[in-house]
Amino acid sequence: MPLVETTPPRALPEIETEGFQRLPVSMGELRRVLGGGIVPGMGVLVGGEPGIGKSTLLLQLAAELANRVGPTLYVTGEESAQQVKLRAQRLGITAPQLYILAEIHLETILQHIETMDPTLVVVDSIQAIYSDALPAAAGNVSQVRECAARLLRLTKAHHIPLFLVGHVTKEGTIAGPRVLEHMVDTVLYFEGERFHSYRVLRAVKNRFGSTNEVGIFEMGEKGLQEVPNPSAAFLAERLPNAAGSAIAVTMEGTRPLLIEVQALTSTTSFSQPRRTANGVEFNRLLLLTAVLTKRVGLRLSDQDVFVNVVGGLRVDEPAADLAVATAIASSVRNVPVPADVVLIGEVGLSGELRSVAHLPRRLQEAANLGFSRAVVPRTGASKLKEDGSTLRLVKARTLSEALEAVLDS
Ligand code: TYD
Ligand code: MG
């Protein structure tokens, strides 16, 4: 059976989009990853490692909609109703219209959804639910798939938005939420280091908005709070003029983000020097150390190199290369990068700086946060006008030129 209602073919102008009014979500960061709000009948998968904050976020969301729109249903398959209540109390949630159902039997859950017809359904988690239709145990791939399909079919028919929680483990994600990605409209993954307070909610699929959008939250005493100005937050603890620190401007979806990259190099006590990457890809770090050695002449063969992105963030973008390489060089030479400089550019194998997308937007964000100089690839910057922004551009052709400009002045 299909997940979407079947109707005869209709001419495009005759299709109504009325039912398509998005439900408001007050947290701007959540609204952003959802593509502007909640669409009736939308199926959302929220994945993430245990303890990252999935239950907290969805309880907050269910409470908000209960207070603003109408009764919502939170199905808890892992915690008791009392545990959910305790969490709600901790969060300061009073929502008379929020209904908690502690149940793992699919057919019973479906029945309650039909009779209650809520504004929103949360199922926490899909791995805890089982159906009589299959002999397999809950959490088994076939159970996960079957339960999700039937929940989606029912909620779509009633235009009820459905949020499914799926646990992802660091190792195998085989029986995890991956198998559901093609069935739902939107897939959100919660990321972050458990011992950091920042959480990144990333849209990896969205039929109702753009993908790659991220929302930034902070886990605190009162649950998840949005971080409306993440660049400023990520730079808040920075020590100006410390060697080994450089500021990159990355794009997360449509939003530029300023982040601090830290590097520490120290003489190794091993025959093989160590490289440790936190928040940047390990192979990217190896590549950059090779370029620094071969093209810049930096001596790294007897140095352990540690690189860390502040705030528990992960940066996959090559545009952060220049900042990573500069942070390493700054640590080796023990010369700080001036505090008013941002570094943007991809580093090629010949040591050349390569242009990156969305340069004007990145520069604007850096200017907004009070930076006064940006080191950028010469190729990409030639088309840029210097006026309009208070930022002075330092155009470099190679990594060596860039390092000279920031470390030798
Ligand atoms: P939780 O939402 O239970 O994670 P998940 O559902 O993804 O497994 O969040 C669990 C963690 O969040 C737990 O370590 C406690 C912490 N936490 C706070 O720091 N503040 C809060 O207000 C709440 C409710 C949880
Ligand atoms: Mg949970």
Q: Where are the domains of the chain?
A: 16-228, 233-407
Q: Which residue reads 């023990």 in tokens?
A: 334
The span from the CA of 249 to the CA of 262, in Å, is 14
Q: Is the CB of 76 under 6 A from ligand 1?
A: no
Buried b (16+ CB within 10 A) or exposed e, 47-83: bbbeebbbbbbbbbbbbbbbbeeebbbbbbbbbeeee
Lay out the sheet containing 214-220: strands in order across. 98-102, 72-76, 120-124, 162-167, 43-48, 186-191, 198-206, 214-220, 223-226
Cis peptide before 271 (omega within 30 of 0): no
Q: From the alpha carbon of 49, which atom of ligand 1 is closest?
A: 7
User: Which two tokens mark 249?
Assistant: 């401007």
Q: Is the CB of 194 under 6 A from ligand 1?
A: no
The span from the CA of 217 to the CA of 263, in Å, is 25
Distance 56 CA to ligand 1 centre (A): 6
Q: From the alpha carbon of 125, which atom of ligand 1 is closest?
A: 6
Distance 213 CA to ligand 2 centre (A): 23
**Atom 21 of ligand 1: nearest residue by CA position:** 223
Q: What is the pLDDT of residues 98-150, one digit of tens each?
A: 999 999 999 999 999 999 999 999 999 999 999 999 998 888 889 999 999 99
Distance 140 CA to ligand 2 centre (A): 18
Given this model, what pLDDT does residue 4 score?
57
Strands 162-167 and 186-191: unpaired
Given this model, what pLDDT does residue 172 score?
47
Q: What is the pLDDT of residues 325-336, one digit of tens each?
A: 999 999 999 999
Of 79, 123, 191, 219, the one to substitute when testing ligand 1's pocket (max ligand atoms within 8 A of C-beta) is: 219
Nearest-10 crossing angle of helices 321-333, 282-291? 60
Q: What is the pLDDT of residues 14-44, one digit of tens each?
A: 877 665 678 889 888 999 899 889 999 999 9
Enumerate residues 6+ apart whose C-beta is below 8 A from 47: 54, 165, 166, 167, 168, 176, 177, 187, 188, 189, 190
Residues 330, 334, 336, CA angle at the centre, nearest 5°?
A: 55
The span from the CA of 195 to the CA of 272, in Å, is 30
What's the CATH class of domain 233-407? Answer: alpha beta
The span from the CA of 42 to the CA of 207, in Å, is 9
The reply to whether the predicted model has a pTM over 0.85 is no
The ranges of the chain with pLDDT < 50 are 1, 172, 174, 387
Q: Is the CB of 199 under 6 A from ligand 1?
A: no
Q: Decide: helix, strand or coil at residue 373.
A: strand
Can you count the helices (H) and strands (E) in the chain?
Answer: 11, 18
Local structure of residue 23 (DSSP, 8 states): B
Local structure of residue 306 (DSSP, 8 states): E
Q: Is the CB of 92 under 6 A from ligand 1?
A: no
Q: From the alpha carbon of 54, which atom of ligand 1 is closest?
A: 7
What's the CATH class of domain 16-228? Answer: alpha beta
Asked if 306 contacts 321 with a C-beta cutoff of 8 angstroms, the reply is no
